[in-house]
Amino acid sequence: MKAVVFERNGGPEVLEYREVPDPTPKGGEVLIDVQAVGVNFRDVYEREGHGYGQKPPAIIGVEGAGVVAGTSERVAWIDVPHSYAELVAGWREKLVAIPDGIATEVAAAALLQGITAYVLAHDSYPIQKGDWVIAHAGAGGVGRLLIQVAKSMGGRVIATTSTDEKARLAREAGADEVLGYEGFAERAREITGGQGVAAVYDGVGRTTFYEGLKAIRPFGRMILYGAASGQPDPLPVQILAGHGSLYVQRPTIQTYTRTPELLRERAAAVFELVKNGSLDVQVGARYPLREARQAHIDLQARKTTGKILLTP
């Protein structure tokens, strides 16, 4: 089969598309014909060697959707190693059945980022009706879905974006206000009548984290779920007192889906939002599997919006 392998940690240039042996399922595993592979920033962290996923040499990636070999059973997954490939051997307990009415590609695009958005809005800070929240990178894969989940819960969303086109996409997703990154904390306070927001959902990291603290109301929450611009500088915890007794969380989806029951419960919730129209999943870019390197380049350069998929 063909797969995308990295022999060492580094930039996109370390990704190699080549022939490798077919996987052999072990006890509890099934062989899957991969139809779509999800590309995420966690793959960048895995490639660069920041404590995610497999150590090289390995096939990169963990998310996708396809058909169990020799059957018509469609499944999706968010935590099956070696997913940038034509075939994957996946543990049954880590697979989610794709319900009728949802296309396989949509399932691949919705699952990891959809569960992330769902967990952020329901668990990390449970949005209450009327709450103002900030969603950074509002046109990105998670950001766009987070806006929609927040709106379905009665929240009011301030999205941040870097271009006019991305601002348009964030508004289309339902954002009440859209801001550029410069001076966003002061503007957010103006929008909220000086009170501040209930929570900041930050997948950007270094360039937004400390300013974000200034936008939060007393007892509010800073939810750092990613670091597209790099990890924030170390946090002196006494700062939280000066900003109004704030809470800070660094959630991981692995924690919230740590059992098969939790995974399937949250997957079912996301699929239901898709089916009832509350969650409009958009594939922002499709690349052939052989062009995984370019997909990573474009993702890191913020040239993409929505979900990136690879097709074997």
pLDDT digits (tens, 9 = 90+) for 288-312: 999 999 999 999 987 877 789 999 9
**pLDDT reported for residue 306:** 75
**pLDDT reported for residue 184:** 97
**pLDDT reported for residue 227:** 85
CATH number at residue 68: 3.90.180.10
pLDDT digits (tens, 9 = 90+) for 230-288: 899 999 999 998 889 999 999 999 999 999 999 999 999 999 999 999 999 989 899 99
The answer on 69 and 9 residing in a single domain is yes
In order of 7, 17, 20, 189, 305, the CA distances from 11 in angstroms are 12, 15, 21, 38, 21
The Cα–Cα gap between 258 and 267 comes to: 13
pLDDT band at 141 (very low <50, low <70, confident <90, very high): confident
Report if residue 118 sits inside a domain: no
Domain with 275 in it? 2-112+259-311
The answer on 305 and 200 residing in a single domain is no
Q: Give the mean pLDDT of the chain.
A: 95
The Cα–Cα gap between 68 and 284 comes to: 26
pTM: 0.90
pLDDT digits (tens, 9 = 90+) for 14-31: 999 999 999 999 989 999
The answer on 87 and 7 residing in a single domain is yes
Q: Which of 199, 233, 250 is the last residue of a domain?
A: 250
Phi, then psi, of 294 in degrees rounded to 5: -65, -35
